[in-house]
Amino acid sequence: MSSGFPGTSHVPLSVLDLAPIVAGSSVAEALHNTVDLARHAERQGYRRYWLAEHHLNPGVAGASPPLLIQAVAQATSSIRVGSGAVQTGHRTALSVVEEFGILDALYPGRIDLGLGRSGGPRTRDEPPGPAEERVVDGVLIPRRFSIGGLLRSPRFRAQLELLRQPGATTPAYDRIVDDVLDLLAGRYRSSQGVEVHAVPGEGAGVEPWVLGSSGGDSAVVAGERGLAFAANYHVSPGTVLEAVDAYREAFRPSPHLRAPHVMVSVDVVVAEDDATARELATGYEPWVHSIRTGAGAIPFPDPVAAAAYPLSDEDRALVADRVRTRFVGAPATVAERLEALQRVTGADELLVTTITHRHEDRVASQALLAQEWAARARTRLAS
């Protein structure tokens, strides 16, 4: 997989978009901003534009990756567009394959199918993660954050009730992935041995990915099936190294990949100087706090409202791992941290996600980073 930046020797950069709703705006504005940001990403040389899936969050409009992928692919012409990720815990393999088969038929050669585990039963124990935070070659690896409280929140339980049919159970993640791959390849057989064919879907040229936050099911399944793997440093920075290590250890060559291929995600905010970037990033702490408490993401606040947001020391400790691992600053500052993350994880690609209160600041952040990244690549080539 080659770089998306012409003439560069760097790993390519891609974009993950949650379609954030900012304070004082609407769902419609958020969706129009997503499409606009994707157009800019394509012009700026980003390789992929991925859309996340979240539900019952007042501050996030990205509830349906296939619908957002269609909107973005229609508005662009060459950038790859995909899911980061489809939540398989409340979907069937057939529904996923048919939807992405339609997308591939409309936009051939441009669709990525990112599969997330989300809500299904575990087939193996999660590794414990680091007991204490550490710095590895300049990259902060904090202690692992436990999502147990989040999963027990009333909002999360309500989400499961609304997303799943009554009495429905979710198969193990490895079975879901196998069913998706078998349907795409035209080799699926039912439990009674009946040959079935997903039309649309079978033979689609989608690029399958697995997304994961730890060295558990997702990383191992991705490796054993020979799929590309996206590790979520922006969601779970404390477990990114165990995730990529588990994936590489489990990897077996497949028709999809001959060797492991890793993309690592990270939150970034870039501005002309460090101080301005820090101001633009002010809303991140209360925004992550609303997620971590199980209430659901609030509309992203402006810097003034964020500075006045009531957070106790305990509240700040709850989100410290994500706040401290966000890359915020001038283009050179952020690019240096991205290069360090790439070295430490061995990433073949990097996936950046940016949330600011003003859309134009998000567009500018994306542009400044792309320019700096390409300039560094040209310098390397010339040396």
Q: Tens digit of pLDDT for each residue in 322-362?
A: 999 999 999 999 999 999 999 999 999 999 999 999 999 99
- The H or E element containing residue 263 is strand 262-270
The Cα–Cα gap between 333 and 200 comes to: 46
302-311 average pLDDT score: 94
- CA distance to 22, 26, 100, per residue, from 61 (Å): 10, 9, 20
Write down the pLDDT at residue 149.
67
174-194 average pLDDT score: 96
Write down the pLDDT at residue 148.
65
Write down the pLDDT at residue 298.
96
Write down the pLDDT at residue 379.
87
Contact (Cβ atoms closer than 8 angstroms) between residue 373 and residue 352: no
> How many CB atoms within 10 Å of residue 324?
11
Residue 383 has pLDDT above 90, yes or no: no
Write down the pLDDT at residue 381.
84
pLDDT digits (tens, 9 = 90+) for 86-117: 999 999 999 999 999 999 999 999 999 999 99
> How many CB atoms within 10 Å of residue 183?
22
- CA distance to 83, 113, 202, 231, 366, per residue, from 116 (Å): 9, 10, 21, 11, 25
- In a 3-state reduction of DSSP, which class is residue 304? helix
Higher pLDDT: 340 or 119? It is 340
Write down the pLDDT at residue 380.
84
Write down the pLDDT at residue 169.
87
Residue 123 has pLDDT above 90, yes or no: no
Write down the pLDDT at residue 124.
65
Contact (Cβ atoms closer than 8 angstroms) between residue 236 and residue 141: no
Write down the pLDDT at residue 187.
97
The Cα–Cα gap between 225 and 179 comes to: 12
Contact (Cβ atoms closer than 8 angstroms) between residue 278 and residue 361: no
pTM metric for this prediction: 0.94
Burial zone of 277 (CB within 10 Å; 0-12 exposed, 13-18 middle, 19+ buried): buried
Write down the pLDDT at residue 62.
96
Pick from 84, 89, 211, 213: which is nearest to 146 by CA? Answer: 213
The Cα–Cα gap between 66 and 241 comes to: 30
What values do phi and psi take at 51, rounded to 5?
A: -115, 130
pLDDT digits (tens, 9 = 90+) for 14-34: 999 999 999 999 999 999 999
Contact (Cβ atoms closer than 8 angstroms) between residue 59 and residue 163: no
- In a 3-state reduction of DSSP, which class is residue 229? strand
The Cα–Cα gap between 196 and 187 comes to: 8
The Cα–Cα gap between 383 and 139 comes to: 26
Residue with tokens 């400044």: 368
pLDDT digits (tens, 9 = 90+) for 188-240: 999 999 999 999 999 999 999 999 999 999 999 999 999 999 999 999 999 99
Tokens of 353: 């996600």
Q: What average pLDDT does the chain have?
A: 93
- CA distance to 13, 103, 198, 212, per residue, from 68 (Å): 20, 11, 22, 21
Write down the pLDDT at residue 154.
84
Pick from 84, 88, 85, 29: which is nearest to 61 by CA? Answer: 29
CATH number of this structure's domain 13-269+331-382: 3.20.20.30
* High-pLDDT (> 70) share of the chain, %: 94
Write down the pLDDT at residue 159.
83
Residue 181 has pLDDT above 90, yes or no: yes
Write down the pLDDT at residue 153.
79
For 223, residues 6+ apart whose C-beta sits below 8 A from its C-beta are: 229, 246, 247, 248, 249, 250, 251, 252, 260
Residue 8 has pLDDT above 80, yes or no: no
Residue 6 has pLDDT above 60, yes or no: no
Burial zone of 102 (CB within 10 Å; 0-12 exposed, 13-18 middle, 19+ buried): middle
For 325, residues 6+ apart whose C-beta sits below 8 A from its C-beta are: 140, 142, 233, 234, 237, 266, 267
Residue 294 has pLDDT above 70, yes or no: yes
